[in-house]
Amino acid sequence: MQKEYFLEKPSSFSIYDAAAGSGKTFTLVKEYLKQILSSKSEDYFKHLLAITFTNKAVAEMKQRIVETLVNFSEEKSTMEPLPMMLKIAEETEKSLSEIQIQSQKILKNLLHNYAAFSIETIDRFNHRLIRTFARDLKLATNFEVTLETNELLAEAVDLLLSKAGENKEITKVLLDFAMEKTDDDKSWDISRDIANAAKLLYNENDSGHVSILKQKSLEDFLEFKKQLIHKKEKLSKEIEIIASQTLQLIEESGLQFDDFSGSYLPKHFQNLATGRYDLNFGAKWQETMSEKPLYPTRVTAAIGAIIDELTPNFIINFQQTKELVFKVLLVENLLKNITPLSVINLVNQEIENIKEEKNVLPISEFNSLINKEIKNQPAPFIYERLGEKYRHFFIDEFQDTSKLQWENLIPLIDNALSQQLEPTSGSLLLVGDAKQSIYRWRGGLPEQFMDLYE
């Protein structure tokens, strides 16, 4: 199923919803070959950029294109044409002989200029961009790229754990992390748990929050934790006072727990007075406090009258403690996350030390680096620095493209689509299947594909 979007010229922007068995590879290869066969230039492939997500997919697409060109170049190709050749001939209005001759020329040129055959992974393309802009990004020109984020994390975690027993504050945070994990019935493998938590550092969907996290010091986290503990104690004390006052009011009024329907109300405040907050705040008796009596029909008229008189106080105290309990639960949730965030921050500090000492750059950081610096440069300037000028873009598995990756490509694509480039205008083909997204963990957003398609 294909849906066209029109910019400067018809068919300049195409989206192919590639569900399983939909002929995605056939479409990609056909559209790629159609562009280079439509040009009179035999090296027009230099102006095409195809992006996918794995080296395996890159190799397969290159192989498919070369094999198809070989087939088109053979003498028998015009007598026994492949379905793709017939399709291209129909769509380009070229004869089979013209396609055969042009394929021979292109194939020869491509094999002699294979390095300019730009079908690559998004990480490889970003690597080229960063190499080009290394000085602008204040990177050493001889920096090394590390592909293994997990290995970098493991090394950083090992370095962090080696400081246990040496640094008092770090030791305390690591012990708290270990104890909280065991309290949650998690494993004692603290090294693995820390590494798993620290993967948040490389999730592009959380990059905005992570950048704020990286700016904080361990002291900031410890101070914030201290403030949260103080806040929780203060809120808990307020709840205890109101709950105790309510119970005292019930007792001084000569009321018993069983004077209330199901003893719900006095038991509720008794739980609050003893610090129990795991209560049901959606119970029926709570919803009807101001409408129905809080006592059963069996109580005497005198008892009922006393409870009716006290009900406005009960309602006020209930609402006040309900709001306070929700605040306590929020603080508890923050406290539950403050230690893991502190540890993640410490891991990040170790990663930064490793990067500086070894002069390495994780490939997972390419997108954010480009997004911060290069995307603000005019597209012609980026092309000039790259030494190339792409006119046609093919993005496979678009559902696995992250928000940052897409934003980084937009200036280049927009430049190609918005200009009248000779001999042809620019184009963009997106291929994807939102149901097949496998890289959401590293920032892939299938919603992007769905939004564009809709």
Same-domain check for residues 184 and 108: no
Same-domain check for residues 211 and 253: yes
Confidence (pLDDT) at 307: 94
321 is in which domain, residue-wise? Answer: 150-358
Same-domain check for residues 347 and 424: no
pLDDT higher at 424 or 223: 223
Same-domain check for residues 254 and 309: yes
Angle, helix 149-161 to helix 168-183, in steps of 10 degrees:
110
pLDDT above 60: residue 2? no
Confidence (pLDDT) at 124: 86
Same-domain check for residues 36 and 81: yes
Confidence (pLDDT) at 287: 83
Say if 144 falls within a structural domain: no
pLDDT above 70: residue 423? no
Same-domain check for residues 179 and 316: yes
pLDDT above 80: residue 445? no
For the segment 134-152, what is each residue's pLDDT rounded down to a tens digit? Answer: 787 777 777 777 767 888 8
pLDDT above 70: residue 20? no
Say if 252 falls within a structural domain: yes
Confidence (pLDDT) at 236: 96
**Considering 358, 388, 405, which residue would you say is the last residue of a domain?**
358
Confidence (pLDDT) at 138: 77
Domain count, the chain: 2
Lowest mean pLDDT, pick from 338-347, 392-401, 419-428? 419-428
Same-domain check for residues 228 and 350: yes
pLDDT higher at 417 or 305: 305
Confidence (pLDDT) at 403: 75
The CATH number of residue 15's host domain is 3.40.50.300
Residues contacting residue 193 through CB under 8 Å, at least 6 positions apart: 177, 181, 186, 187
28 SS3 class: helix
CA-CA-CA-CA torsion for 312, 315, 317, 322, nearest 10 degrees? -170
The pLDDT > 70 percentage for the chain reads 86
Mean pLDDT value across residues 273-292: 86
Q: Which two tokens stand for residue 429?
A: 């083909």
Same-domain check for residues 33 and 54: yes
Same-domain check for residues 203 and 228: yes
Mean pLDDT value across residues 316-327: 95
CA–centroid distance for 369 within its chain: 16
Confidence (pLDDT) at 110: 95
The pLDDT > 90 percentage for the chain reads 49
pLDDT above 80: residue 122? yes
Confidence (pLDDT) at 388: 67
For the segment 234-264, what is each residue's pLDDT rounded down to a tens digit? Answer: 999 999 999 999 999 999 999 999 999 999 9
For the segment 355-389, what is each residue's pLDDT rounded down to a tens digit? Answer: 889 888 887 777 777 777 766 777 767 766 776 67
Mean pLDDT value across residues 106-116: 94
Closest CA to 425 of 390, 391, 393: 391
Same-domain check for residues 261 and 388: no
**Considering 307, 336, 358, which residue would you say is the last residue of a domain?**
358
CA-CA-CA-CA torsion for 391, 395, 399, 403, nearest 10 degrees? -40
Same-domain check for residues 129 and 160: no
Say if 386 falls within a structural domain: yes
For the segment 195-215, what is each residue's pLDDT rounded down to a tens digit? Answer: 888 888 887 767 777 888 888
Mean pLDDT value across residues 180-187: 69
Confidence (pLDDT) at 54: 87
Interatomic CA distance for residues 376 and 397, integer angstroms: 26
Say if 379 falls within a structural domain: yes
**Considering 322, 341, 358, which residue would you say is the last residue of a domain?**
358
Q: How far is CA 329 from each of CA 168, 171, 175, 303, rounded to the nearest angstrom?
A: 30, 27, 23, 35
Q: Which two tokens stand for residue 174?
A: 């690591």
Same-domain check for residues 402 and 341: no
Say if 108 falls within a structural domain: yes
Question: Taking a C-beta distance cutoff of 8 angstroms, is the pair 382, 129 a contact?
Answer: yes
Say if 347 falls within a structural domain: yes
Confidence (pLDDT) at 437: 47
pLDDT above 90: residue 349? yes
425 SS3 class: coil
- Across the chain, what does the average pLDDT equal? 84
Closest CA to 158 of 341, 347, 348, 344: 347
Q: Give the DSSP H or E segment for 121.
A: strand 119-121
Say if 339 falls within a structural domain: yes
